[in-house]
Structures are given as C-alpha cells and as structure tokens.
Chain A
Amino acid sequence: MTIPLSGQLINLSAAFLLLVGFAMLAQRRILSLINLFAMQSFVLVLSTLIVAISTHQHHLYYSVGITFVLKVILIPWLLHRFIRKLNLKWDVETHIAIPTTMLLGIVLVIFAFNLAQPISQLSGTVTRHTLGIAIAGVLLAFLMMITRRKAVSQVIGFLAMENGLFFAATSATYGMPLVVELGIALDVLVAMVIFGIFFFHIREAFDSLDLKHMEQLKED
C-alpha cells in the first residue's frame, strides 16, 4: 500500500511534532523552551496547510492563518518579553530527573497509540494515522506541566497541550468548525494576558516565580 505524497508529508510533520514534544520535555533552558514551542507551532501550521491543500478544506486556511499569527509570532514574542521583564535567565529546575521523565513520556506515547488505534480504524481521513501522535502530544505536554517548577514553563506546557489538541482535531476530523477554532484562539490569547499579569503578581508576592511558594496558600 502506497501512501500519497500529502499523507507522507503529514506523517513526517507528525513525527516532527512528537520529536519537538520530547525535546521540550528534555529542555532545561526557558529561552530554548519558548523557541521549541514556536517551532512546534510552526510544524503544526505546516501540517495543517498540507491537509488544507490536499483536501481543499477552505476553512482550514483561516485556521492556518490564525495559528501562524498567534502561536508562531505573537505568543512567543509575548513570552520573550515576559522573561526579559521578569529577568528569568536561569535554567529550569525539574521535580523528576530528565531521563526518568523521558521514560515516562515513552510510556505515555505507547498508551496514546494504543488508545488511538480503534478510533483511527473508524476514521476515514487521510490524516487518521496521526491521531495517536496528537494524543501523545497532549499527554506529553501534561507531563511537562507536572514536572516543571516555574510558572512560565507551566504556561508553555499549557500552550503545547493546546497544540496537541489542535493537531488531534485536524487529524481526526479535518479541524473543528471555524467558530470553535476562533473561540479557542481567543481563549489562548486571553489566557496569555492573564498569565502575564499573574506572573507579575506571583513575583511581587513571593519574590520568585517558583511555584513551591504557593504551597503556603493551603489552608491548614
């Protein structure tokens, strides 16, 4: 069985997506983390574009445009600005050693593929084989949020999770309706603004962005 060129390209970009996901999981420096996120978003844009061209789904072009503007340019730029203002140069500390995290990530990927198998068989889209990768992307981002200590990397994890969701939507059903996508895009943007304000407040209150200080908020 031969896979058409577009399908091969999509599989390639899916592989890239997963690779970048693991890279993010392993990356210690915040600056590189942001760049990796931008790269992942760019791969996402490319894969969506290929799906749009090969299936002639017009509304996907709008998604491509929105994603590109928002996730490749605007949000990474905002994040860069934040860390410049907050003076966050140091490396990311993790709760669990990086190699262990990678192993956990592999387990999650296997789980995701196992989960996606029956759904992929039902789905008739050219992109159906990538659903497992999309779910893996979501779970890896979740894992990243759990293992990181700094608020900024948690936010990047959150955004990466959204990337995974978006990829799942395109791979399973050629994308969500445009209205839903617009809504999500707006949500992500608003979330960024709120997180930004939040960062400054956390730092003002605790003199640090380390989330362990927030444990004091617990009621005894």
Chain B
Amino acid sequence: MAHSVFLPIEIACLALLAWIVLAFLGLACIRQPRIILNVIFPAGAAISLVIAVVGFMALTLQAQTIILPLGLPNLPFHLRLDNLSGVFLTLLGGVSFAVSIFSCGYFRNYNGPKLALVALQYHTFLASMALVLLADDAYLFMVAWGAMAVASYFLVTTEHQVPQNRSAGFIYLLTAHLGAIAILFSFGVIQGGHGEYTFDALRQAPLTPLWSTVAFLLAFFGFGAKAGMLPLHIWLPEAHPAAPSPVSALMSGVMIKTAIYGMIRVIYDLLGVIQWQWGMVVLTVGAATALFGILFALTQNDLKRLLAYSSVENIGIILIGLGLSMVFMGMGHPTLGVLGLIAALYHTINHGIYKALLFLGAGAILRSSGMRNLNQMGGFIRHMPKIALFMLVGVLSISALPPLNGFASEWLIFQTTLQAPALQSGVLRSLVPVTAAILALVGALTATCFVKVFGIAFLGQMRNPDLKEIHDARFTETIGMAWLAISCVVLGLLPVFVIHLLNNVSLSITGFGLPSDAVDSNWIWLIPTSAARASYSPIIFFAVVISAVLITIFLVHRLYHGRLRRGPAWDCGYPEQTPRMQDSSDAFAQAIRRIFGPVFKATRHFPSPDDTAPRFSVTVEDKHWAGLYLRIARLTTFVSNQLGVVQQGRIHVYLLYSLVTLIALLIFVQ
C-alpha cells in the first residue's frame, strides 16, 4: 500500500483526537447551545462512522501497531488494531453514530452550561472507550479504563440535583473502581515479575497454572463488575435510570461490552492456555446472571430499570457462550470452542445494537410523554407510531424471534450447548445441557418480559386521558433509531457474513477456525458445525413469513368479502369501563412473581376495606442488597471503628507510630 495513504490505525488515532477536540469545543460553546446540538453532535456522529469503517476494515487486515510518544517518560502508549478490537470498534462506531444523531434532538431542552458539560463528557467517553479497545499495554489500558469510568460517572450524574442520581453515581463509581483494582492486580500477576507491561510481553510471560488461575479470577471479577455479572450487577439498575437515555444506550450498548472485550483479550489472548475449570466458572455465573436478570426485568415498572436488568440478562447469555467456548477449548475441542466464542461475540454485537435501540426508544417516550413508569403508559402506538415501530423491531430482536439478529446469535449459542456429547467427562456432558435448559427458560421469559413492555406501553388505551401533548419522535431521533433498527434486520438476515468475519477474529487470537462446512457455506444457509446437524436460513424464513402475510392479506381482501366495519368492542356486559381497568405492568408480572417467589423480596401494600381512594402497590427489591451488600457495609463500618482506635488525635502517638515503623523497617533491611 502506498505510504501517502493513512493506515487504519492512524485514522483511528486521528478520529480519537477529533473526538477529544470536539469535547473541548463543546465546552467552549457554553453560550451557544444551538451550535452544540447542530454542529458538535453531528460532527461526533461523522467521526463515529469513521471509527466504524476503520473497525470494519480491521476485521480482514493483519494487526497493526503504533507507538505514541505520550504518557510517562520511557513508558510510551502502545496502540494496536487487530481483528478483535475491530469487532468492538465497529460496534462502538455503529452504535455511537445512532446515539449522537439521536442526541441532537434529545438534548434540545438542556440549557447552555449543562449541554456544554454533556458534550464534553460524552465525547471524552467515546474517545476513552475507543482507546480501551486500541490499547496495547496494560498502562494505557488502565488509563483509558479509568477515563471511561470517570466520564461515564459524570454522565450518570448529569441530573445531579436529584439525590437518588447522586447515590446511583456513587454506587457506579465504587463498583467501577473495585473492578479496576482487580484488573490492575490481574495484569500485575500476568506480567510475572518482569516489569514489562506491553501486551506482547504479557503474552510471552510464562505462568504456572496456579498463578494463571489467579490472574483469570481477578480479571473475571474486574471485568465482571463492569459488565454487570451476578453479584456485581447492582450498579446497572441504579445508573441506567439516572443517566440521560442516550447515555444509557451507550453504556448498555457499548461500555459494558468493553468488559467482554477485556475478558476475551485477557483470557484468550494474554493468558492463552485456557483451563476448562475456568469455563465452568464463567458458565455457571453466566447462567445464574441470565436467569436472575430476566426475572428481575420482568417485575420492573420503570422502563429503563427494566432494560438495565435485561442488560444483566444478556451479559449472562454472552458469558454462557464464552464459558462454553472455554470449556470446549480447555477439554481439547478447539473447533467447538471457536463456535462458542463466535456466538458470544455475535451476541455481544447484537445486544449492543438492540439494547441501544430500546434505550433510545425509552428516551424518546420519556422525552415526549415524560413517563418512565410502565403502569402509567398505554395506547402510545396511536400517538407515536414511529417510536412504536422501532421499539417493535427492538423488542422482537431481544426476544430472539427469527429472522432478526437476536435469534441468530442465541441459536448459535444453543448449537454450541448441543455439542456437549463431544466432551469426555460425564459430569460436564450432563451439566452443559442444563445450561441449555436455563437458556431456553431465559429466552421464554425474555419474550414474556418484552411482550409486557410493548403491550402495556403501546397497545390498549391511554391510561391518563388528560395527557395531551404527546408527540412522535423528531427527525434526528427517528434517524438514530432507524439506523439501529435497520442494523438489527441486516445482522439478522446476513448471519453468514458476520460469522465469516468473526471467524477471522477467532483465527487470529486462538489459531483455530470453524470447520470447513461452516466456512464453505454459501450466504443463504448458516451452518455452525456440519450441514448434517443443523442449518438455518433467515432469508428463506423471512421470505416465507412475508409471502404468507401477503397471501393472507390478498385472500382476505380479494377473495373473501373484503368488507370492513368498525364498531365498539364488546364490553362483556359491563358498560362502565375505564382505561384504568386494563392489565397493568404489575398485574402482567404477577404470575412470574408468584412462581419464582423465593427469588424476590416483594412487599405488597393492600388498601384497607374502608379506604376511599384505594391503591394497591407492590415493590420488588433485589435480595442482594440486604443479603450481601448491607452486610459488607456493616462489616466495613465495624472494622473501621475498630481501626479508628489507632487514631488517637495525639501528635505524640502519631510520632511514636513513625518511630516504631522506622525502627521496624531498619531491622527489616538490616
């Protein structure tokens, strides 16, 4: 290639720089909110497209590295663009393009200073996420990771006047820091005492199996805290409702995926030799996370909280894919392991896109009606048909209905679990299908959950007839959501292209690829292992569905009588009916709340018989709060109080501490 043309990695660096420049331009335009909305955010979206293109190009290219003379003396920043970072950069670029465009309209009510700060933090957030994906040494990785956490913390606390938002931000920051410390330790273990922190050196550092297990556990904990895996998920349902909707979309769509990126990078790339026991840990945690996440999503009334719990569930599904892959790799079946890895990556991309779409939809509803509580919504399809259409696409995708993208990746994960008979160990052979069963249960519950979302919010009648000023999505909001909705459809219809590209990733980091049947398959038929076992063609499926619908319409309208009559619905003999009598969100989830009773901590409020304005309410709490976190908090307070004895407030005592320490150290070095 000619030298006058920039390498993709150089373009990526320039794009990063451009985001940072935009961030500060946004701050400079503190008095001109219109410029921020009409110039800065669209420019950011254009850069997103560049990043997406660079990432897409990287999927088929060799890895490229670059060393930037920044950072500390003798510790320059190493950057690397390879297939794996390409996947996540494409996701980052694609999702942030939609979110930036959406933001032009969404933030229109913000005043100057607030908007300027959001523009600053938003673009810094984007740049730091891209930097996390490009980092090629532990030092730069941690710097970018920290910048990402801080930028998103400030975005979460945009509405800092509300006390809940401040505490949500605090919980988020706390979890992020705990995770970051674990990741730092993990890198420290991996480097094995050589003091070299470039990823190349980390790859080559020899580790005993024990230490590499320690490194794995630390990395799993650290990245799991960011991703929202089971006991560490508590920040998600707090932070997502607090943040402005485009920020939630980015955090759920892309940021928690950087944790998945980190896991894959550390486990597959840096550690390299995978032990199957690790896979079982990931698989178990993933299954628990998925089941727990969707059960809690089902019982939520706050739409954004519901979506946050659903993100927890999807992270669980991704972890199931990764865990399966690690089990197969560790047991010496790399080809099957590759399938799990590809399925996990595919699901990561898909979830990033449809969850961003759903969060943007939730934001559009919030912006136009001011509502987040599902119990108050209803009949919105007549007032916001465009939002309803896009939400429908998102809801179908997340419920894993063919031919949309959610189905393709979940089907691949199922196919991976069905390879369990290949395993030698009888225990594993029987445990892996259990995860398949959990996955199936989770799939059904997800569908229930999103039937509830769409049915309660958009169908039926308006619960609050006084609400007049409901409008549909504005132009920019429509473009943002349409982009994501189209991506959902395209990714669902062309899974073969996607897995061919992801196969490159797997080849470059594990050295193994899919079996020849899968690689040679044509673009219509998706074949995960061999044509004899399973195959799926979304396009044929789609064509059949469309033609069935068209034929039915044709038959009904042309051959049948074709007459149309609109009349009042039958009222079952009760003439006095109000919209409040509709099935509510609480009512919809009631059965699930009963069946899975022990999981929830539900407190119900029954009105007394003589109450003139009776209201029934139910609140569902996360048992992890009382069972785990409050205990840790109490223990911390207790230990702190005990340690507080050390603080005497007397200078002499403090000096004595210094003297004793000094003498102890002197004895030690002697």
Inter-chain CA distance A212–B651, complex, in Å, is 8
Is B111 an interface position by the 8 A CB rule? Answer: no
Whether the pair B650, A215 counts as a contact (CB closer than 8 A) is: yes
Inter-chain CA distance A147–B656, complex, in Å, is 9
Majority secondary structure of chain B interface residues (helix, strand, loop or mixed): helix
Whether the pair B662, A154 counts as a contact (CB closer than 8 A) is: no
Whether the pair B652, A142 counts as a contact (CB closer than 8 A) is: no
Contact with B along A86-130 (1 / 0, CB 8 A): 000000000100000000000000010011001000000000000
Whether the pair A118, B651 counts as a contact (CB closer than 8 A) is: no
Given contacts A142-B658, A146-B659, contact A217 B649 (CB under 8 A): yes
Interface centre among B650, B655, B658 (most CB of A within 10 A): B655
Inter-chain CA distance A18–B651, complex, in Å, is 25
The smallest beta-carbon distance between B49 and chain A, in angstroms, is 53
Interface size on A, residues (CB 8 A): 21
The smallest beta-carbon distance between A136 and chain B, in angstroms, is 12
Task: Give every chain A residue within 8 A of B647 (Cβ-Cβ).
Answer: 218
Is A205 an interface position by the 8 A CB rule? Answer: no
Whether the pair A211, B651 counts as a contact (CB closer than 8 A) is: yes
Task: Give every chain A residue within 8 A of B670 (Cβ-Cβ).
Answer: 114-115, 118
Whether the pair A143, B652 counts as a contact (CB closer than 8 A) is: no
Task: Give every chain A residue within 8 A of B663 (Cβ-Cβ).
Answer: 111, 139
Of B649, B652, B662, which one neighbours A147 at CB under 8 angstroms?
B652
Which A-chain residue is minimally distant from B669 (CB atoms)? A115
Given contacts A115-B666, A115-B670, A118-B670, contact A145 B655 (CB under 8 A): yes
Is A193 an interface position by the 8 A CB rule? Answer: no
The smallest beta-carbon distance between A172 and chain B, in angstroms, is 15
Whether the pair B659, A154 counts as a contact (CB closer than 8 A) is: no
Whether the pair B650, A143 counts as a contact (CB closer than 8 A) is: no
Task: Give every chain B residue within 8 A of A149 (Cβ-Cβ).
Answer: 652
Is A186 an interface position by the 8 A CB rule? Answer: no
Of A114, A142, A212, which one neighbours B662 at CB under 8 angstroms?
A142
Is A214 an interface position by the 8 A CB rule? Answer: yes
Task: Give every chain B residue within 8 A of A142 (Cβ-Cβ).
Answer: 655, 658-659, 662
Inter-chain CA distance A154–B663, complex, in Å, is 20
Interface size on B, residues (CB 8 A): 14
Whether the pair B651, A214 counts as a contact (CB closer than 8 A) is: yes
Inter-chain CA distance A154–B649, complex, in Å, is 16
Q: 8 Å CB contacts to B: which residues of A39-77?
A: none
The smallest beta-carbon distance between B645 and chain A, in angstroms, is 12
Which A-chain residue is minimally distant from B652 (CB atoms)? A146
Whether the pair B649, A214 counts as a contact (CB closer than 8 A) is: yes
Which B-chain residue is minimally distant from A138 (CB atoms)? B662
Of B649, B656, B658, which one neighbours A218 at CB under 8 angstroms?
B649
Which B-chain residue is minimally distant from A217 (CB atoms)? B649
Task: Give every chain A residue within 8 A of B650 (Cβ-Cβ).
Answer: 211-212, 214-215
Which B-chain residue is minimally distant from A112 (CB atoms)? B666
Q: 8 Å CB contacts to A: which residues of B629-652?
A: 647-652
Whether the pair B651, A139 counts as a contact (CB closer than 8 A) is: no
Which B-chain residue is minimally distant from A96 (CB atoms)? B652
Majority secondary structure of chain A interface residues (helix, strand, loop or mixed): helix
The smallest beta-carbon distance between B189 and chain A, in angstroms, is 35
Inter-chain CA distance A95–B656, complex, in Å, is 12
Inter-chain CA distance A216–B648, complex, in Å, is 10
Which A-chain residue is minimally distant from B658 (CB atoms)? A142
Inter-chain CA distance A63–B185, complex, in Å, is 46
The smallest beta-carbon distance between B372 and chain A, in angstroms, is 40
Interface centre among B647, B650, B652, B659 (most CB of A within 10 A): B652
The smallest beta-carbon distance between B655 and chain A, in angstroms, is 5
Task: Give every chain A residue within 8 A of B656 (Cβ-Cβ).
Answer: 146
Given contacts A139-B659, A142-B658, A146-B659, contact A95 B666 (CB under 8 A): no
Inter-chain CA distance A77–B666, complex, in Å, is 35
Whether the pair A215, B648 counts as a contact (CB closer than 8 A) is: yes
Inter-chain CA distance A215–B652, complex, in Å, is 11
Given contacts A115-B670, A142-B662, A146-B659, contact A95 B652 (CB under 8 A): yes
Whether the pair A218, B648 counts as a contact (CB closer than 8 A) is: yes
Task: Give every chain B residue within 8 A of A143 (Cβ-Cβ).
Answer: 659
Inter-chain CA distance A212–B670, complex, in Å, is 36
Which A-chain residue is minimally distant from B649 (CB atoms)? A218
Interface centre among A114, A145, A146, A216 (most CB of B within 10 A): A146
Which B-chain residue is minimally distant from A135 (CB atoms)? B666
Task: Give every chain B residue within 8 A of A147 (Cβ-Cβ).
Answer: 652
Inter-chain CA distance A146–B164, complex, in Å, is 47
Which B-chain residue is minimally distant from A108 (CB atoms)? B663
Which B-chain residue is minimally distant from A117 (CB atoms)? B670
Which A-chain residue is minimally distant from B666 (CB atoms)? A115
Inter-chain CA distance A146–B651, complex, in Å, is 8
Whether the pair B651, A154 counts as a contact (CB closer than 8 A) is: yes
Of A111, A211, A216, which one neighbours B652 at CB under 8 angstroms?
A211
Inter-chain CA distance A216–B650, complex, in Å, is 9
The smallest beta-carbon distance between B558 and chain A, in angstroms, is 84
Contact with A along B371-413 (1 / 0, CB 8 A): 0000000000000000000000000000000000000000000
Task: Give every chain A residue within 8 A of B658 (Cβ-Cβ).
Answer: 142
The smallest beta-carbon distance between A211 and chain B, in angstroms, is 5
Task: Give every chain B residue within 8 A of A145 (Cβ-Cβ).
Answer: 652, 655
Contact with B along A136-158 (1 / 0, CB 8 A): 00010011011111000010000
Ordered by A's residue number, 21 sampled pairs between the chains whose C-beta atoms are within 8 Å are A111-B663, A115-B666, A139-B662, A139-B663, A142-B655, A142-B658, A142-B659, A143-B659, A145-B652, A146-B652, A146-B656, A147-B652, A148-B652, A211-B650, A211-B651, A211-B652, A214-B651, A215-B650, A217-B649, A218-B647, A218-B649
A142-B662, A212-B650, A218-B648 known, 4 other contacts, Cβ within 8 Å: A139-B663, A145-B655, A154-B651, A215-B649
> Sorted from nearest, which 4 A-B pairs have the closest CB atoms?
A218-B649, A215-B649, A146-B655, A142-B659
